[in-house]
């Protein structure tokens, strides 16, 4: 029997093709070939080439390809070859790739026990053209806002509407999360309660992350790991150019700025949500401003607030929870993963039990499969789950709220036995996580209109 490989020697981008409504990328992993196809049903890419400098469009496509290469780092290849797109990359592009990789893949390092790794980047002559397009002459005042179909997306759109800011929705799906059409249908349900000027969808089909390749050929590795945010941002740029949008808005909250654990192996904090952090947000905007689109605005409308406050704000819209989803395992809800367990907990702490039961239909606090997730996220055991969830103290507050509401179950009994705080401490934590922070990247022209509704 052929011996399984420890890691591939080289990942190489071998093709990048643009068609009228989609892009096709081909990567070679040693002898294996994979394709990524990115579909733009509302953008004519041929017209985009006619309207803008061809060098700009090629540079944007090259950086989309750069970001779609991140996922292959899950294999810890010795080399990554960007020779095909070298003439459309700058030295800063490679620095951006390595910096993002180092921070965003800390979880991948930790889960695979890899303490010291950095790929060798192979490339030809890089571009010295730092020219960029000014959006100020092109854009109008509509904000492109991400709609992932969850609670944060819903609140982001509600805040924009209350602030009388024009916005269009941007739905981005990946095939590893299931049927693309099903994902878009789920996301569009939120729009029944929101009023975007238009709705744009982008669908990514990826036969590397969707397949069982890693499990079959590299079974010692945890699996493929897609970052999501950098790919989503760069793949939004054609939508923004085609429609003259000058700002891209996501709904990443302040809770994402806190890591899951400190690992001595890399002597750094491991943060599952680093790509959603303020640090990453500023990095992404700075790079695009300097090398692609000047005046490009990228911000997270919920960055001033923790998840604790987000749930409180959502309590004013009880009808929305029937139309939202958050699970990344089996959409809309698998009811077994940390993300489902967390949202379920938050819902029970803030909405009527009967309304939550219509969605989930059972008591999570008596579910043996969920106990470990709740122990992790409340700090009773292990570390905070590697998912997009609130901080440990926020989860503790939600548990306390469920107890105060009269909910019962095995997990709540365990929580009462293990987590003991004075009433004064609980009040102090509630105040701390209910604040609106002045630390964010929201442009002042928007924040001055939004802040009163936070």
Q: What is the pLDDT of residues 217-254, one digit of tens each?
A: 999 999 888 899 999 999 999 999 999 998 999 999 99
181 burial level (CB within 10 Å; 0-12, 13-18, 19+): exposed
List the one residue out of 326, 297, 312, 342 whose CA is nearest residue 440. 297
The alpha-helical segments, DSSP class H, found in 197-277 are: 213-217, 229-243
* CA distances to 58, 67, 366, 421 from 54, in Å: 6, 20, 59, 61
Tell me, what's the pLDDT at 129?
78
Tell me, what's the pLDDT at 139?
61
Tell me, what's the pLDDT at 171?
97
Tell me, what's the pLDDT at 1?
28
- Report residues of the chain scoring pLDDT below 50: 1-4
Tell me, what's the pLDDT at 6?
81
Describe the crossing of helices 91-104 and 54-67 by its angle, rounded to 10 degrees. Answer: 30
Rounded-to-integer distance, Cα 265 and Cα 173, Å: 34
158's enclosing H/E stretch is helix 151-162
Tell me, what's the pLDDT at 107?
95
78 contacts 119 by C-beta, under 8 angstroms: yes
Tell me, what's the pLDDT at 141?
84
Q: Which residue has the tokens 């602030």?
A: 163
CB burial of 10-46 (b: ≥16 within 10 Å; e: otherwise) equals ebbbeebebeeebbebbbbbeeeebebbbbbebbebe
Greatest Cα pair distance, the chain, in angstroms, is 66
- Rg over alpha carbons for the chain, rounded to the nearest Å, is 22
**End-to-end CA distance of the chain, in Å?**
61
DSSP letter, residue 211: S
List the one residue out of 157, 136, 135 whose CA is nearest residue 146. 157
The dihedral built from the CA positions of residue 397, 400, 406 and 407, taken in this order, carries a sign that is positive
375 burial level (CB within 10 Å; 0-12, 13-18, 19+): middle
Tell me, what's the pLDDT at 212?
92
Cis peptide before 332 (omega within 30 of 0): yes
């Amino acid at each position: 029997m052929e011996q399984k490989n420890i890691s591939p020697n080289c990942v190489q981008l071998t093709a990048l093709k643009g068609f009228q409504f989609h892009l096709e990328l081909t990567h070679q992993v040693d002898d294996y070939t994979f394709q990524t196809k990115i579909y733009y049903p509302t953008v004519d890419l041929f017209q985009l080439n006619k309207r803008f400098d061809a060098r700009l469009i090629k540079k944007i496509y090259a950086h989309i390809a750069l970001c779609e290469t991140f996922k292959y780092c899950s294999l810890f290849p010795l080399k990554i070859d960007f020779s095909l797109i070298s003439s459309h990359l700058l030295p800063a592009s490679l620095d951006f790739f390595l910096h993002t990789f180092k921070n965003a893949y800390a979880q991948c390092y930790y889960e695979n026990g890899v303490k010291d790794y950095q790929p060798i980047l192979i490339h030809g002559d890089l571009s010295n053209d730092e020219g960029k397009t000014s959006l100020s002459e092109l854009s109008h005042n509509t904000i492109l806002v991400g709609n992932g179909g969850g609670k944060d997306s819903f609140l982001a759109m509600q805040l924009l509407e209350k602030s009388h800011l024009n916005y269009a929705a941007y739905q981005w799906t990946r095939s590893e999360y299931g049927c693309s059409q099903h994902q878009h249908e789920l996301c569009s349900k939120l729009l029944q309660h929101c009023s975007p000027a238009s709705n744009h969808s982008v669908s990514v089909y990826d036969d590397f992350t969707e397949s069982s390749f890693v499990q079959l050929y590299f079974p010692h590795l945890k699996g493929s790991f897609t970052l999501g945010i950098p790919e989503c941002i760069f793949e939004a740029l054609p939508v923004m150019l085609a429609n003259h949008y000058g700002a891209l808005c996501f709904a990443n909250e302040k809770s994402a700025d806190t890591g899951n654990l400190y690992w001595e192996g890399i002597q750094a904090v491991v943060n599952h949500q680093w790509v959603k952090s303020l640090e990453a947000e500023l990095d992404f905007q700075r790079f695009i401003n300097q090398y692609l689109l000047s005046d490009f605005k990228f911000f997270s409308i919920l960055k001033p607030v923790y998840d604790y406050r987000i749930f409180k704000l959502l309590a004013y819209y009880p009808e929305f929870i029937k139309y939202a989803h958050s699970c990344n395992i089996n959409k809309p809800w698998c009811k077994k993963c940390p993300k489902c367990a967390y949202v379920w907990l938050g819902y029970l702490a803030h909405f009527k039990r009967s309304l939550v039961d219509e969605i989930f239909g059972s008591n999570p606090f008596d579910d043996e499969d969920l106990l470990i997730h709740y122990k992790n996220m409340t700090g009773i055991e292990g570390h905070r789950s590697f998912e997009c969830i609130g901080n440990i103290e926020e989860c503790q507050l939600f548990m306390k709220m469920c107890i105060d509401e009269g909910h019962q179950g095995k997990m709540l009994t365990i929580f009462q036995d293990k987590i003991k705080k004075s009433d004064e401490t609980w009040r102090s934590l509630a105040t701390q996580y209910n604040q609106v922070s002045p630390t964010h990247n929201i442009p002042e022209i928007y924040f001055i209109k939004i802040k009163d509704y936070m």
